[in-house]
Amino acid sequence: MADFTSGFWNWFIIVPVLGGIAALFLLNRWMTGPRSKVGEKPKTMGHVWDEDLQELNNPLPRWWLNLFYITMVFGLIYLVLYPGLGSFSGILGWTEKGQYEKEMAAAGEQFNPLYEKYLQSDIKVLAAHRDARKTGERLFVNYCTTCHGSDAGGGPGFPNLRDDDWLYGGDPQTIKATIMNGRQAGMPAWGAVLGADGVANTAEYVLSLSGRSTNEAAVKMGQEKFQQLCIACHGPEGKGNPAMGAPNLTDNAWLYGGSKKTIMESIEKGRNGRMPAHAEFLGEAKVHLLAAYVYSLSHPLDDGESPEKH
């Protein structure tokens, strides 16, 4: 548990917690009251219904009261053993992080051999193997659908993994490297350099690269700006550069959307897409299977033999 920036907040938790337990103990004692002697009529609470139906002040049974005391003792023991009193971590030293790592280690011992048996097989072979592909699909569902969607169709800012348009390359090893190490895109903002008219003209030229209907005068002016500022990444013909993750602008596949408004926004404000690295979190064996599944999405293959036979 992280330390508080002020000791006040530490006591702000400790005092109410321990004070609350003490108050419950005193309340329990106060509400117990003396028991009536044998033959003595219990005291009434002064409430009468239907002329003779009275509410009596009978104490709770001992076993019932003892349950309250047991819960209070349990609470005190818990607060000694586990975190609960401000920054005091408990004598057992339990933490959520430690518990998570322990459970992950136990799961790794049980399940990692299932993944590692595929590690020496070629990714293309695994992509054609039914069982390996299904295992990779389960990994994808657990770790990748938040961004790429359950059908791997992607969305604005998240690539479609089912087509054959790849920012960094779609060969098996590149896909694996992308999952292992992540990617950090960097489209600079050109709004301040180009101005409003320059952004609009450049967007018009970009639209023309994919054969869209455009304004010829704006295209000509936008081409000049493109040649000055954009060819370093996208190339002189706008076909992109996989080494830099610069997209091909001559096709009709758009990561953030292909409308003129969206293209102008990309040019003016830039883009900073990020693919997180999964090497440390998943391990190479799982990434290997995951890469095979992703590869199979854009390269449908017939089911092959067991990968151990190749």
Average confidence score pLDDT of the chain: 89
Q: Tokens at residue 274, please?
A: 């990020």
With 60 as the cut, is the pLDDT of residue 249 above it?
A: yes
pLDDT digits (tens, 9 = 90+) for 269-310: 999 999 999 999 899 999 999 999 999 999 876 554 444 433
With 90 as the cut, is the pLDDT of residue 28 above it?
A: no
More confident residue, 307 or 115: 115
| DSSP run (H or E) holding 54 | strand 53-56
> Average of pLDDT values for 17-38?
82
With 70 as the cut, is the pLDDT of residue 17 above it?
A: yes
With 70 as the cut, is the pLDDT of residue 29 above it?
A: yes
Distance of CA 133 to the CA centre of its chain: 23
pTM > 0.95: yes or no: no
Residue 299 CA to residue 32 CA, distance in Å, equals: 76
Q: Considering the chain, tell me which residue range(s) the CATH 1.10.760.10 domain(s) occupy.
A: 104-183+276-305, 191-272
More confident residue, 222 or 308: 222
CATH architecture of 104-183+276-305: Orthogonal Bundle (1.10)
Q: How many CB atoms lie within 10 A of CB 242?
A: 15
**Considering the domain 191-272 in this protein, what is its CATH number?**
1.10.760.10
Phi first, then psi: give them for residue 252, nearest 5 degrees.
Answer: -120, 30
With 70 as the cut, is the pLDDT of residue 196 above it?
A: yes
CB contact at 8 A, 207 and 214: yes
